[in-house]
């Protein structure tokens, strides 16, 4: 009995002492520190600029208030959300000598990154369904994809991931931890669970069930819609094939890039990389950085350049801006 009480007391002490986590995967960058900091900062600024411009263009032009562009706007908002959950944190850690993060901030980052990935995949799945209806049932598109249905889908895309990840995180927050060292360059839920003093079987089961609903069902939907689109393309007219290629290419590239990055993240989390050299460990543990960097930067560039309506509106905005600048310059010269 005394031994059990001592064990409980020890676990309680360990649990109350974990007020911060140490990220052990960072290397001493030496003279490259400021170069990498500027590189990451420029990337973050570029991501914000590209996504904000497209969000404004879609919101300000009524001709773009269609389901496809509303889903795109939601996608770009999610890119801002995901990049903000990662890049400011990385910028602070790059300049820090001691790579520690408070426990609440660490759990907040876990919530942001996990919910970002879930919203991203659900959004890509809904967008594939939207393209399926537009290409396979063009005459019924306006009847099926009504404004009310579009709003409902956007709400589901955001609410369900936030709700399910909040439950997942609440299970991790309540775990008593016997350590505080995370072998990552960012906070990671699986790494935190490995520090637990107790059995985490229930957490793992919930994680698998949650992943099933967030990944398996959307993946089946994406697979079914693209099989149907391919069938229509082979049996349809040349105009149908051109429409499918022009609207589905950016979506497919985005989907494949996200799937590849997610595969690397899952593979890295399952491998024991402690025996690898430090540089390879950092590269291997940067899969999430790859996902967010590529997705948040390539998506606005892909859709902005490939989607004809968006490209035309961007060109029109640039022309108007240039005209206003010239008019203001002429007015200033006349005044002088």
In CATH terms, 30-320 corresponds, of 1.20.1070.10, 3.20.20.70, 3.40.50.300, 1.20.1250.20, to 1.20.1070.10
Helix (H) or strand (E) holding 22: strand 20-23
- Helix H segments across the chain? 2-17, 33-60, 67-95, 103-136, 141-144, 147-173, 189-194, 201-211, 217-235, 238-270, 278-284, 287-306, 308-335
Instruction: At 183, list the tokens.
Output: 């072998």
d(CA 185, CA 280): 13
CA–CA gap between residue 164 and residue 147 (Å, rounded): 26
CA 288, CA 285: separation in Å to the nearest integer?
7
Q: What does the domain layout of the chain look like in residue ranges?
A: 30-320
H/E stretch holding 174: none
| pLDDT given at position 34 | 87
Q: How far is CA 161 from CA 66, 121, 150, 154, in A?
A: 24, 10, 17, 12
Residue 109, pLDDT score: 92
The per-residue pLDDT for 173 is 85
CB atoms under 10 Å from CB of 198, counted, come to 15
165 near 113, Cβ under 8 Å?
no
Asked whether the beta carbons of 106 and 173 are under 8 A apart, the reply is no
Answer for the pair 79, 97: CB distance below 8 angstroms, yes or no: no
In whole angstroms, give the CA distance from residue 258 to residue 121. 8
- Using an 8 Å Cβ cutoff, are 119 and 157 in contact? yes
8-state DSSP, 140: G
- Smallest Cα–Cα separation from 293: which of 44, 118, 117, 74? 44
Q: pTM of the prediction?
A: 0.83
**What is the residue-level pLDDT of the chain in tens, covering all 336 positions?**
444 444 444 444 444 456 888 888 777 777 788 888 999 899 999 999 989 988 988 888 887 888 888 999 999 999 999 999 999 998 998 888 888 888 889 999 999 999 999 999 999 999 999 988 988 888 888 898 988 999 999 999 999 999 999 999 988 887 888 888 888 888 888 888 888 888 888 888 888 888 888 888 888 888 999 888 888 877 767 776 777 777 777 888 888 888 887 777 776 666 655 555 555 555 555 666 777 888 888 888 888 766 666 667 666 666 665 565 555 554 545 554
Six token digits for residue 200: 């985490």
pLDDT for 179 equals 82
**Residue in this structure with the two tokens 């570029």, named with its chain if needed:** 46
């Amino acid at each position: 009995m005394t031994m059990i009480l001592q064990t409980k007391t020890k676990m309680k002490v360990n649990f109350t002492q974990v007020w911060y986590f140490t990220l052990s995967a960072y290397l001493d960058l030496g003279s490259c520190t400021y170069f990498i900091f500027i590189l990451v900062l420029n990337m973050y600024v570029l991501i914000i600029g590209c996504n904000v411009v497209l969000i404004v263009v879609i919101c300000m032009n009524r001709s773009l208030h269609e389901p496809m562009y509303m889903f795109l706007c939601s996608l770009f908002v999610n890119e801002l959300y995901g990049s903000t959950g990662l890049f400011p944190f990385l910028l602070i850690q790059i300049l820090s000598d001691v790579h520690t993060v408070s426990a609440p901030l660490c759990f907040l980052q876990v919530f942001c990154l996990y919910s970002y990935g879930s919203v991203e995949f659900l959004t890509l799945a809904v967008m594939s369904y939207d393209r399926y209806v537009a290409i396979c049932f063009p005459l019924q598109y306006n009847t099926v994809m009504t404004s009310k249905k579009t709003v409902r889908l956007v709400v589901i895309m955001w609410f369900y991931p936030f709700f399910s990840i909040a439950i997942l995180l609440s299970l991790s927050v309540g775990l008593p931890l016997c350590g505080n060292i995370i072998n990552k360059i960012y906070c990671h839920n699986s790494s935190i669970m490995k520090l637990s003093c107790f059995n985490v079987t229930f957490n793992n089961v919930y994680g698998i069930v949650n992943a099933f609903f967030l990944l398996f069902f959307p993946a089946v939907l994406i697979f079914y819609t693209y099989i149907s689109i391919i069938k229509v393309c082979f049996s349809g007219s040349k105009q149908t094939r051109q429409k499918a290629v022009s609207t589905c290419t950016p979506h497919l590239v985005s989907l494949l890039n996200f799937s590849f990055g997610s595969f690397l993240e899952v593979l890295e989390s399952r491998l024991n990389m402690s025996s690898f050299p430090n540089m390879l460990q950092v590269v291997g543990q940067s899969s999430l950085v790859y996902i967010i960097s590529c997705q948040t930067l390539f998506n606005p560039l892909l859709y902005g350049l490939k989607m004809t309506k968006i490209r035309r509106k961007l060109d029109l905005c640039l022309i108007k801006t240039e005209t206003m600048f010239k008019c203001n310059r002429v007015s200033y010269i006349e005044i002088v």
